């Protein structure tokens, strides 16, 4: 089954802004960085609907379930299954806390420090692009 991976991509210009402004200053100035800080350690507990606009589709992973997505997305697992399982579509880092995975039937899950949390995107219009596979953010 094919799963889509969505991450908040921090480009070099935003890295430079963080170096200049610090974490708090960059979060105040850039919604993308605020979303990154909020979700990268606390995952779904800090997720806000407007953060959905900051995610980009960065990869697909062929896997049997979410646990395999996590393993393959971190370069682990059965080598025979891992070979060719990950297709990079953009800048992609290992699957981590705060990343969103859309399963083959359109359910959206956030990677948390322990396990996965199902996100109710029917109520979050800012996240509708995650279901369609259309990345709104660069």
Reading the block at residue 104, the tokens are 């083959």
Total domains present in the chain: 1
pTM of the model as a whole: 0.86
Per-residue CA distances from 126 to 2, 43, 52, 89, 117 (Å)? 23, 17, 6, 22, 18
Residue 137 in domain: no
Predicted confidence at residue 137, as pLDDT, reads 38
Residue 61 in domain: yes
CA distance 4 to 133: 8
The pair phi, psi for residue 41, each rounded to 5°, is -115, -30
pLDDT tens profile 73-121? 999 988 888 888 999 999 899 999 999 999 998 888 999 999 999 987 6
Task: State the pLDDT confidence band at 21, using cuts at 50, 70 and 90.
Answer: very high
The pair phi, psi for residue 75, each rounded to 5°, is 75, 20
CB 58 within 8 A of CB 89: yes
Nearest by Cα to 86 from 65, 109, 59: 59
Residue 3, classified by CB atoms within 10 Å of its CB into exposed (0-12), middle (13-18) or buried (19+), is buried
The DSSP result for 101-125, as a single string, is EE-TTS-EEEE-SSSEEEE-GGG-G
Residue 65 in domain: yes
Residue 113 in domain: yes
Residue-range definition of the domain harbouring residue 93: 2-132
Residue 87 in domain: yes
Residue 138 in domain: no
Residue 83 in domain: yes
């Amino acid at each position: 089954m094919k799963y889509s991976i969505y991450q908040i991509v921090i480009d070099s210009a935003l890295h430079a802004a963080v170096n200049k402004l610090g974490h708090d200053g960059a979060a105040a100035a850039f919604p993308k960085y605020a979303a990154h800080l909020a979700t990268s350690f606390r995952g779904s507990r800090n997720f806000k609907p407007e953060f959905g606009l900051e995610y980009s589709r960065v990869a697909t992973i062929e896997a049997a379930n979410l646990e395999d997505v996590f393993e393959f997305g971190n370069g682990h697992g059965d080598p025979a299954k891992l070979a060719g399982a990950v297709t990079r579509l953009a800048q992609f880092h290992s699957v981590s806390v705060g990343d969103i995975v859309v399963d083959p039937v359109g359910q959206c899950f956030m990677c948390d420090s322990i396990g996965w949390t199902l996100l109710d995107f029917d109520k979050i219009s800012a996240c509708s692009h995650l279901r369609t596979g259309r990345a709104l953010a660069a």
